[in-house]
Structure formats: structure tokens, C-alpha cells
Structure 1
Amino acid sequence: MVQPQGAEEDPPQSSDSPPSQSKNAFTFNKDIVPPKKPPPSKGYAHLFKYVVVGDSGSGKTALVRRYSKDEFVLTRDYTIGVDFDIKTVPISNGDEVKLQIWDTAGQERYRTITTSYYRGAQGIIIVYDVNNQGSYFNIKQWMQEVRRYCNDDCKIVIVGSKSDLQTEGAEVWGKDKVKLLLDLDEDSEDWESVGVTGYFMVSAKTGERVEEVFECLTQALVTERLNARNPLRAGGTIKLGKGKAGGAEEKKKKKGCC
């Protein structure tokens, strides 16, 4: 078995404590039995740590839930501190990739806690609300924070969430405006030149383009790692298969990239 590199092992969980610190994990209602944490995946060849950041209420938790559990729950509860999820994804060479996905709180009072989770991250997902001007302008602040606390080779993806909430006549802070904010030429798709691996506008409610966000990071990281191990195959790519959330096959099919 190939030993995973570059990510921390799963945090220890005691038998009498919940697997996360988020209200969204259904641990604060005594009438509801907390869900069991899925068993750890065995035999994976790669282990990657992803940290999801962004303003409070930007849609981070909904994004993670849609990807890891293929579900959408409308809630006004905010994440407290950090929440944690796991997903295992097979790739075309027969190996499996294990993803640690950390959903962080966006409130300023939790910032000293959440910044500690940047350590060892290979991928950062910056989420903002395409219908919220303030959330849009704070992208640069999150970029600065990521660059301050993460390794130089950490990959960043920017996600504009809640695309399903666009209303006629309302201004949408979408892809073109993000390019303007990051001083990227309007006609350019060279996101790497501004330190970004990719940009996606998504809807956690409908599932539109959610898988692409994580596939973009995972494919880039796996391909980069394998190319580094074998320079003769440099330029090749690894395709991802269907993922497993907690050992269950994911029901949602991959959407086409546009």
C-alpha cells in the first residue's frame, strides 16, 4: 500500500464525544440521536486535507454536505469552530483518494481557532455568496489569510455559492467580477496567474457544479504528485471515478464541465 503523504491523520475521537463541533451535526437536540461517524477508509493511496473558508452564511456547510452526503438541509444555524467530514474517491489507476474536508466558522470570534486548521492543508476552498456584495469583496481578505497561514504549494479554488437564488434585475457578483477583483484580464482563464486553481459558481440546493469543485482540487493534486514521482509521465492526467461518502456509493452523477 502506498503510504499517504502531506496530510495529517484523522483527529482522534473518543467514544463519548460527538464527531464535530457544529450545530449542523445534530448534536444539540436531545431528541435526535447523533449520527455515527463513518468508518475510516482503508487502503487509500493519497490523503488530502481540504479546508473550506469564507464569510459566515456564505454557504460553506451546505456545499460540504451536498458533496459528502449528497443532501441539502436548509438551516440558519452557523458552524461553531470547525466541522469535519470524510469522503473517499476512486481514481482511474485503481487507487483511492481519501479527503478530509474541514468546514470552518466564518465569524471573526472563531478566527484564532479556525486558522490553526490551515496547517497541513493541500487545498483551500474559498466560498462567497454571489448575491452578497460584502461577501464578494471579502474574497481578497480570505486570499490574504490563506497565503499567510498555508504552504506556498497549497491550491486554492474560489466558489460562488447560491446561484439558485439569483433574482431578475438583482446584481450577481459572479465570475467576471471575481476576475476584476483579482486583477485578472476579463478574457483570460489563466487563474493560475493569480494563484487560483479554479473558479466555480455552484448551487448546493440543486447540486449544480458542486462535484466539480472538489474534483478540480483532487485531480490537480493527484496528477501533480504522480508526475513528481515519475517525471516520464509528466503532462498526463488522472481521472476520478464515483466517490464514496462514509463507504456508501454516491448517487449523484457527475455534471459536465462548462
Structure 2
Amino acid sequence: MANNIASDLQKDEYKVIIIGALGVGKTSLLLRYVHNTFEDRISKFISEEKKSVVVNGREIVLHLWDTAGQERFQSITNRFYSDSHAVVIVYDMTSEDAPQDLDFWVREIQYYLPLELEAGMPVLFVANKKDLIKKEDIEERRQHFRQAQEVSHSNGFLPPVQCSAKTGENVDKVFQVVAEHLVRNRSGSHPLIRQTDQKRCTACSS
């Protein structure tokens, strides 16, 4: 019993925020990853889900925050961004507005998280709705994805991932990549990552 308690107290907990334009599939991505279900809907409230992940034999806990459509009211505030350890930026790869979306969200996190980005916070672009790509649009979408790769490289972000929340393709990969990066930084001197216990979870504080 004592060993189990000690093991729990040693788990690292991380707040990962999921941002992106309205309707890109943020909530669907979250539900597919945590519950392996697909719902094509927009939540009305900022929500948080929790999932344990094992990386290199080490169990960590991801607290996944979803903007839940609040971006339509421009009401994403410091509370949502505060204490974040990683950012997942979702965009709709079928949308003509994808390039503009990339630029907007980069500016957004640069405004809210400048010190965190400077310290090496992991940021990952996720191109969602891969299942909806039509053959005649493949080349254009490849160009959009190459742009995401270029923006990621120039800003020091993680390499972007294409996925489908509907089919589940690459959804686990999205969060595994983030988790692996967090654990890798944990062994170094990253100032944002801190060990928590069951009495206090910084990812859940308001």
C-alpha cells in the first residue's frame, strides 16, 4: 500500500491546452483520445479531461484543456493559458483558411505565453479532418501542411501531425509526441515543468 501511494505522489502532471478556430474538431480530438469515441459537436464550456500516459516506463498525467467554442466570443483568457506546459493547435486541413489560422494562433500564444515559449514550451500543430480530404484537393492540402511545417520549424515548434478525430488515425500519436517531449524536458532544466502530488494539481488551479 505504501509503495502504491509513493508511486502516485511521484507522478508528474502537465497541463496541455488545445486551441484552434471554431469547428476544427478540438473537442472531437479530445474525446477520441481520452474515451475513444467520436462526437461531431462543439462543447459550450471550457472542459478538462485527464489521462495517464506511460513514457519510457514513467507514468505521467496529462490534464487536457479544451477551449470548447469560447473562441467565438474572444473570451479565452489568461486563466485558460496560465500554468500551461504544452500547446496543441488544431486546424481544419480541409479549410481554405488554414494558412491564416496558423498565423493567428502563433500570434495568440506569443501574446499569452511569451516566457513559456522562450523557455522551450512544446507546441504542436495538428491538421485534423484528414478523412475528409478529396483527391482533387490533395496537392493544395499538402501545400498547407508544408506551410505548417515551415512555421513550426521557424518558431521552434514540434513537427506537425496530420490526423482524423473521426477515424482515430494518428490521434494517439499527437499526445504521445507531446508527452515524450515533456518527459524529455523534465530530466533537464526546463523551468515550467514541476512535480505535483495528489493534494495539489497546478493544472487544475484557477
TM-score, normalised with respect to structure 1: 0.63
Letter in 1 for 2:107: Q
> Is the radius of gyration larger for structure 1 or structure 2?
1
**CA displacement, residues 108-165 of structure 1 (integer Å, 9 cap, x when unaligned):** 4433344531111111000011101124421110011012112223211000000001
Shift of 1:178: 3.8
Give the alignment partner of residue 54 of structure 1, picking from 3, 20, 28: 20
| More contact order relative to length (CA 8 Å, sep ≥ 6) | 2
Corresponding position: 1:80 with 2:41: no
After superposition, where does 1:212-251 map in structure 2 within 5 Å?
A: 212-228=173-189
Which residue of the partner structure matches residue 155 of structure 1? 122
Q: Any gaps of 5 or more consecutive residues in structure 2?
A: 1-6, 191-206
Give the alignment partner of residue 204 of structure 1, picking from 165, 169, 177: 165
Question: Quick one: structure 1 residues 195 and 111, their matched pair in 2 at CA, closer, same or farther if it must change by over 3 Å?
Answer: farther
Q: Is the 8 A contact 2:99 2:147 kept in 1?
A: no
**Identity across aligned pairs (percent)?**
28
Question: Quick one: structure 1 residues 227 and 115, their matched pair in 2 at CA, closer, same or farther if it must change by over 3 Å?
Answer: closer
Q: Any gaps of 5 or more consecutive residues in structure 1?
A: 1-40, 185-190, 230-258
| CA distance in 2: counterparts of 1:170 and 1:68, whole angstroms | 31
| CA distance in 1: counterparts of 2:92 and 2:183, whole angstroms | 29
Which residue of the partner structure matches residue 37 of structure 1? none
Shift of 1:206: 1.1
Q: Is the 8 A contact 2:93 2:144 kept in 1?
A: no
| RMSD of aligned alpha carbons | 2.4
**CA displacement, residues 2-51 of structure 1 (integer Å, 9 cap, x when unaligned):** xxxxxxxxxxxxxxxxxxxxxxxxxxxxxxxxxxxxxxx94452111100
Q: Is the 8 A contact 1:84 1:101 kept in 2?
A: yes
For these two proteins, the number of residue pairs brought into alignment is 180
Give the alignment partner of residue 97 of structure 1, picking from 52, 60, 64: 60
Higher helix share: 2
| CA distance in 2: counterparts of 1:63 and 1:50, whole angstroms | 13
Question: Quick one: structure 1 residues 73 and 108, their matched pair in 2 at CA, closer, same or farther if it must change by over 3 Å?
Answer: closer
Q: Is the 8 A contact 1:174 1:201 kept in 2?
A: no
